Amino acid sequence: MQTVVIVVHLMIVLAMIGLVLLQRSEGGALGIGGGGGFMSNRGSGNALTRATAILAAAFFVTSLLLSVLAGLSQRPTTVIPAQTGPSAPSPGAPTPLGTGGGVLDQLQRNQPAAPAAPGAPAAPAAPAAPSGPEVPRSQ
């Protein structure tokens, strides 16, 4: 249905563009378009004006119909997901305010556990981040 209305809408648009271009210019702002043409008598001007008004009304109706059809085809959505009960937040999800979910708490949770017992294999240490730009030293 929507495709049919779009095709009719485009045909109305093209016809209206053609009718507007056929009409005689009455402003004469640039001094062009005032002379005689193949449709220069007053009766044909009224017919073109009336046809343009009818096409404009049809354009308005098809535009409203397209907007109504577009609104009917959409499902209501929400940006807030519905939660059925309390659950533990996922690691990347933000936590609500006041629950200890600040940046420092997240960093403390990501710290490695206490040092391993003596004799246990040690975990590889992460490389230290440079404190500033490194300047080569001359020897």
Q: In this structure, what are the phi and psi dihedrals at residue 52, rounded to the nearest 5 degrees?
A: -65, -40
pLDDT of residue 60: 97
pLDDT of residue 38: 52
Residues of the chain above pLDDT 70, percent: 53
For residue 47, the SS3 value is helix
Q: Which pTM does this prediction carry?
A: 0.45
- Residue 131 CB coordination number (10 Å): 6
Assign residue 87 a region: left if phi > 0, alpha if psi is -120 to 50, beta otherwise?
beta
pLDDT of residue 6: 95
The residues spanned by each domain of the chain are: 2-24+43-72
- Distances in Å between the Cα of 135 and the Cα atoms of 105, 127, 131, 132, 138 are 35, 19, 12, 9, 9
Instruction: Retrieve residue 100's tokens.
Output: 């200890």
Residues 6+ apart with CB under 8 A from 45: 23, 24, 39
pLDDT digits (tens, 9 = 90+) for 10-67: 999 999 999 999 887 776 555 555 555 555 555 566 888 899 999 999 999 999 999 9
| Whether the predicted pLDDT of 95 surpasses 60 | no
